[in-house]
Structure 1
C-alpha cells in the first residue's frame, strides 16, 4: 500500500493555482520554513555516530559489500486493510449479481410457462440494483485505491549503494517513480533525539533530503524499516545504515535476508510487527 506516498506525490504535483487557493482557505495553518543553517545542522548530525550497537531490524532484501537494500514506506502496519475492504466490496457485488442472474433465469422460466412473475421480477431487479450500487462507484473511485495495494508486492524498496554513494528510492510511477539521492545530503530522525518523534514510538526511521540536495523544489521524506518501539531502535537502525555507507559492512551484525519473492503472507506480516 503506497497511500501516504501517493498522497504526497499528488500534493507535490498540484497546480500552482490550486496550492495558492488552499493556502487562502487555510490561513490559520502556519508554515514554518527550514533555514539553510538548520539544514546544515541536520546533515552534520547525521555524519556522527549515533550509538555503539548498530542493528537492523529489517526487512533487508540485499546485503553485500556494495549494496544494502531495505523495505521502505509509511503505514506498513496498516497494509492489508485496503485489500480487505476491496475484497468485501468485490465479493458483495459479485454475490448480489449471482443472485440477480439466478433470479433472471427463474424469471424467464416463469414467463415462458405463463406463470405470475411480478415478485420474481422485483427480487431480480432488487439484487441487480444492489450489485450496481456497489460496483459502479467502486469502479469509478475505489479501483484506483485498490491498485495501491492489491496485485503488487506492496513494498517500496530503498537501496543504499556504497560504490556510488547514492541512495535509490524505488516507487511506482504514480507515486513519483525512482529517485536518486546523494548520501552526503541525508539527515535522519535516528541521529539525535531532538530530530525524532516523541519517544520514537510508532514511527519507522525517517530519512530526509532538503531541496538543496534533491535538485527539485521540494524535499524528499522517506521512511525505512519497521516501526520503532523506542528511540534506541531508531538509533541502532540508523547507525547500521550509516556505518555501512561510510565504513562498509565489516564489523556489522549480518541481518536476516528476506526474499524478493512476493509471498502472500509478507503483505500482512507488518501488521504484527
Structure 2
C-alpha cells in the first residue's frame, strides 16, 4: 500500500525530488518532462473535493493518499507465509519436547539417534532459521500494509500555511512543510487519458528550505507526497487540485465543505467495496455492465482480496498528529 512513499523515502540521499517522482509509475504516466508548477497557479475553472477528505474545518483539511484500496495482497502472501513459518517452527519445537517428556514417540517406539538428529536438531533449526530470515528480509515488506499506521494523512493548514505529513517513522515520519515553497507536479495541458488513475504530487527540494520536523526544526532534505483518491480523468484531477489550492489561498468560502467525509473506522464493507472497485460514475452507461460481468467472474478473488484488505486494517493502528500540530493555527482558547 505504501510502496510509492517507501520508494521515495528510500531514495532521499540518492536522487533529487524530480528524479524520485519521475522514478514512479505515476509520474511516467503524466510525462517524464513535466515541470513543477507553483502552488499559486490556477489550473482549473472548477473545484472538486474528489471524495478524498477525512476532516474539514475553518483551519485545516485532512486528505487521503492514493493507495488506500491497494492493500491486502501483501498481507495475504507475505503475512500468510510468515504465519506458516511460525506455526512450523512452534510445531517443530513442541512435538519433540512432548516425545522427550514421554520417553517415546507417538507410537510408543523407543527414541533412536535419528530422532535426536532430525527432530531435535535439524528440523527445529531449519524452521527457526527460516523464521529468522523472514523477519530479517520479508517482514519489512509486510509493514507496507500491516503492523503500521492504518493510513497516511496529508493536512493542509491554511492558518499556519503549512502542509503536515502524518507517516510512520519507516516512511519518513511526521514533517511540516511550507505551502508557499511547494511545487505541484501536474501538467495543466494534459490529455483526459493522462488523468486516469492520477493523483496530485507535491514536492519540496532542499534549496527551498521549506521542510521541518514535528518540533518545527528545519531539515536539510527534500520531500515528496502523493495526495488524493485516483481520478477518472484529467478534468477531475485538476479540479481536485484546484479545490486544495482555493482552500489554502482563499479559505473555506472558495472550497465548500464536502457533502460527505471519509470514515476512518475499518468497516468490513468498505474493504469489500475497495476490492470490488466498480466505479459508480458508470451508472446509466453501457460500459457499466461490462465491469459488473467482469467483477462477477472474479468474485472469489474479490472476496479474498476484500477479506485480507480488512485484516490488514485490523492489524494496523490509527495514527494521530502530535499535539503541537493538532493545536497549530487554533486560537489560544482552543476554539475554532
Q: TM-score per shorter chain, which class?
A: 0.7 to 0.9
Structure 1 contact 97–131 (Cα < 8 Å) conserved: yes
Structure 2 contact 199–237 (Cα < 8 Å) conserved: yes
1:146 and 1:137 map into 2 onto residues whose CA distance is: 14
1:69 correspondence with 2:62: yes
Match of 1:238 in 2: 241
Structure 1 contact 181–213 (Cα < 8 Å) conserved: no
1:111 and 1:184 map into 2 onto residues whose CA distance is: 75
1:225-272: per-residue Cα shift (whole Å, max 9, x none)?
112222122112101111111122225453222344566776786555
Structure 2 contact 246–254 (Cα < 8 Å) conserved: no
Cα deviation, residue 199, structure 1: 1.0
Pairwise CA RMSD of aligned residues? 3.6
The aligned length equals 248
Residue number among 111, 116, 126 corresponding to 2:104 in the alignment: 111
2:195 and 2:86 map into 1 onto residues whose CA distance is: 44
Residue number among 127, 130, 147 corresponding to 1:131 in the alignment: 127
More helix by share: 1
Aligned pair in 2 of structure 1 residues 127, 264: CA closer, same or farther (>3 Å)?
A: farther
TM-score of the two chains, using structure 2 as the length reference: 0.61
Residue number among 178, 182, 185 corresponding to 2:178 in the alignment: 182
Residue number among 245, 254, 266 corresponding to 2:257 in the alignment: 254
Cα deviation, residue 6, structure 1: 2.8
1:50 correspondence with 2:44: yes
Cα deviation, residue 127, structure 1: 5.1
1:99 and 1:258 map into 2 onto residues whose CA distance is: 44
* Structure 1 segments unaligned to the other structure (5+ residues): 15-31
Matches within 5 A, 1:140-219: 140-190=136-186, 192-194=188-190, 199-215=194-210, 219=222
TM-score of the two chains, using structure 1 as the length reference: 0.72
1:92 and 1:120 map into 2 onto residues whose CA distance is: 23
2:195 and 2:138 map into 1 onto residues whose CA distance is: 34
